Amino acid sequence: MSDVTDPRTDASAGDPTRASGPSVADSLRLVRDELGDLVDHLVAAPDHLERLADALSSADRVFVHGLGRSGIALQATAMRLMHLGLTVHVVGEATSPAITPGDVLLTASGSGTTSGVVSAAESASSAGARVLAVTAASSSPLADLATVTVVVPAAGKEDRSGTASAQYAGGLFEQAVLLVGDAVFHALWKRSGQSADDMWPRHANLE
C-alpha cells in the first residue's frame, strides 16, 4: 500500500500532536522562494554565466573539483557535460590525468577559501589551465585565481546568521551550484544542435 497522502484529504495535516515548527510544504516553499530570488539576481547580469559556458565549451578538457555537497553538485554537472560530448574528469578520481594548458578547472566553494579547492586552483593556474569558480565570495583566494567567477548571493556553510539564507549550512549555495550547472548544460546542448537521441548513447550502460 502506498504511503503517499493527498494534503487535501490527509487528516494528519492538522494533527495537534505534530511537533511545532514549519511543515515540509512550508520548507519547500522557502527553498523555492530563495532559489527564485537567487535566479533573478543571476539573470539580471548574465555575462559571467555566458563566459562560464563559453570557457567550458571551448576547453580541450574539463576538470571539476569541489568538496562536500558542492562537490557532489559539480559531479552532476560533470556527468551532463560528458553527455554533451565533452571530455570531463573529476579531480581525485584514480583515472583523472594531469591538467595542462587548454584545459579548464571548474570549481565550487561558497567561502572561496576551501583549502583543497584553492590548492587545486593554484596548481591548475600554474600549469597554464584556466580556473572557473562558482562562489558566494567575490573577494576570496578562489575568486582571485579564477578567469571567470560566478558569484551567487548565498550563504557559505559557516554562515549561520540567516541573513543570506534561512537554510542550513550552505544549502542554498549548493542548490545554486546544481542549478547553474544544469542551466549551462542546457544552453550548450541547445547550441550544439544535438538531439536527446544523439546524446543518449553516452549514458552509462554498465549499471
Cell numbers that stand for 79 in this block: 556527468
Give 132's Cβ-side CA count (13 Å radius): 27
Q: Is residue 150 within 8 Å of residue 56, measured between CB atoms?
A: no
Distance, CA of 79 to CA of 71 (rounded, Å):
12
Q: Hey, which residues are catalytic here?
A: 174
Distance, CA of 163 to CA of 139 (rounded, Å):
18
Cα→Cα distances 26→9, 29, 30, 31, 32, Å? 18, 5, 6, 9, 10
Phi, psi of 116 (to 5 degrees): -65, -35
| Residue 198: Cβ-neighbour burial (10 angstroms; 0-12, 13-18, 19+) | middle
